[in-house]
Structure 1
Amino acid sequence: MSTAPLDRASLARFVDHTLLKPEATADDVAALVAEGVALGVFSVCVSPSMLPLDAAATRERGLAVATVCGFPSGTHHSEVKAAEAALSVAQGADEVDMVIDLGAAKAGAWDHVQADVAAVRAAVPEPRVLKVIIESAALTEHEIVAACRAAQAAGADFVKTSTGFHPAGGASTHAVAIMAETVGGRLGVKASGGVRTLADAVAMIEHGATRLGLSGTAAVLAGFDRTPAPGSGTAGGGY
């Protein structure tokens, strides 16, 4: 693990450059892709209805394609989530970010949470990547740990803090640290929701995030123009 400070290019490789506003148009998505290429991000993340994306505009230009599933509430039947994920994979998604059944988590029904994730995992075969959104701001510390364990047991590749749509809030460094400690490097940790500045982004990485979901990527990276980036314990954007 590198101890070098993050620079603009290495931070960009942590980023899923994201547009999930329901009013987004195809032109907005095309602009997102162009901006993602220019910024050097890892992937673009769009709503499933925007798939498939033009391969020449994405993979051939170095971008992975991510989408969401059961978004943003997570209260869909597991079979519906699995069908949505399978269609997204068929339409070119490299990565799928699913939302857990938050009500089941709050009720302590962890077998249900695990089975829900497992159903989507079966629809997102390796080497495609499955990220599991646990909506950490709505969970207690104990529930964050249990949700991460359920995701890991179901075969997920990442746990992710937030949809960015829940009124309880988005990512926090405290939640990221708990998630990172729980998965112990066996899964990636994605911080998403409310990460708006360079300082926010670096803090998430320093607390264990291995991926960032950003809708304002250009503004975050512009922080390098104003001030040197804080040091970070990691550099690069692996899983």
Structure 2
Amino acid sequence: MSTEPITIGPHGSWDASLAAKIDHTLLRADAQPAEIEKLCDEAKAYHFAAVCVNPWFLPLARERLQGSTVALCTVIGFPLGANTTEVKVFEAEKAYAAGAVELDVVLNTGAMKAGDTAYVARELTALRRAVPKALYKLILETCNLNHDEIAHACRLAADAGFEYVKTSTGFGSHGATVEHVALMRESIKAEMHVKASGGIKDRSKALELVVAGASRIGSSQSTALVRLENPHVL
């Protein structure tokens, strides 16, 4: 992977190749509007792929990102994934109407572990049909699944027409690992992608996950991941 930096104005040098793979994320329960505005400004400055915020902040983030190429992402059924399908569909529809073009949906882990994969499949299909133009990512919360369950969940996401599978919410016992990213990459269709998220706080780990097969990195520490110089600027 290329790590060719670019230098623009006061922000110093950063890894533009890695920046283009990052979903700049702020999902804390106590996040404030000023923090969301800063998140969006950083995403525009560093040309991140997307910002990911909780649904309540979508109108603010949409306005702040207006005119930029940064995609607007939100979460559905977050963080447990245990909402009913009807609730998740309602969330997805409202989020898309509010400007979110990328939807990170939390898997119903209980159904998956109970072997009720038919329920999971129906839920994912219902979401895909409800908002057909959205880009969907299925959050597996891999810390709660064994290898067979991870691989099976990836196949269900593929069958439902999801574009991505994602490792973690960031609220589980651990986040992204190289082992899980590689397993997920092996378990999906060639045209699909893996998003690694959860506990990614330094550049070296981010690059390891990209090498393992991640096309997107979700992090609240995004600027630290991409900066090559002037780490305290912006």
User: What is the TM-score normalised by the length of structure 2?
Assistant: 0.90
Aligned to 2:190: 185
Aligned to 2:166: 160
Of the three residues 139, 146, 151, the one matched with 1:140 is 146
Aligned to 2:10: none
Matched length:
221
SS at match of 1:11: helix
Structure 2 counterparts to residues 1-239 of structure 1, below 5 A: 4-5=2-3, 7=5, 8-53=15-60, 55=62, 57-126=64-133, 128-167=134-173, 169-222=174-227, 224-225=228-229
Compared CA separation, residues 4 and 216, structure 1 to 2 (3 A): closer
Higher mean displacement: 52-61 or 132-141: 52-61
Mapped to 2, the partners of 1:133 and 1:188 lie a distance apart of 12
Mapped to 2, the partners of 1:54 and 1:209 lie a distance apart of 25
Q: Could you tell me the percent identity over the aligned residues?
A: 39
| Contact 1:96–1:124 (8 Å) recurs in 2 | no
Which amino acid is 2:151 matched to?
Answer: V
SS at match of 1:23: coil
SS at match of 1:97: strand
Which amino acid is 1:158 matched to?
Answer: Y
Runs of 4+ displaced beyond 3 Å? 3-7, 53-56
Mapped to 2, the partners of 1:184 and 1:174 lie a distance apart of 18
Mapped to 1, the partners of 2:63 and 2:50 lie a distance apart of 14
Compared CA separation, residues 59 and 209, structure 1 to 2 (3 A): farther
RMSD: 1.5
Higher mean displacement: 142-151 or 182-191: 182-191
Higher relative contact order (CA 8 A, sep 6+): 1
**Residue 53 of structure 1: how far off its partner (Å):** 3.4
Unaligned runs of 5+ in 2: 6-14
SS at match of 2:121: helix
**Residue 121 of structure 1: how far off its partner (Å):** 1.4
Higher mean displacement: 143-152 or 5-14: 5-14
**Residue 55 of structure 1: how far off its partner (Å):** 4.4
| Contact 2:25–2:53 (8 Å) recurs in 1 | yes
Unaligned runs of 5+ in 1: 227-239
Mapped to 2, the partners of 1:23 and 1:6 lie a distance apart of 36
**Residue 155 of structure 1: how far off its partner (Å):** 1.3
1:86-141 per-position Cα deviation (integer Å, ceiling 9, x unaligned): 00000000100000100111112111111111122122212x20110011121111
Mapped to 2, the partners of 1:166 and 1:55 lie a distance apart of 28
**Residue 56 of structure 1: how far off its partner (Å):** 5.2
| Contact 2:158–2:189 (8 Å) recurs in 1 | no
SS at match of 1:22: coil
Mapped to 2, the partners of 1:188 and 1:52 lie a distance apart of 27
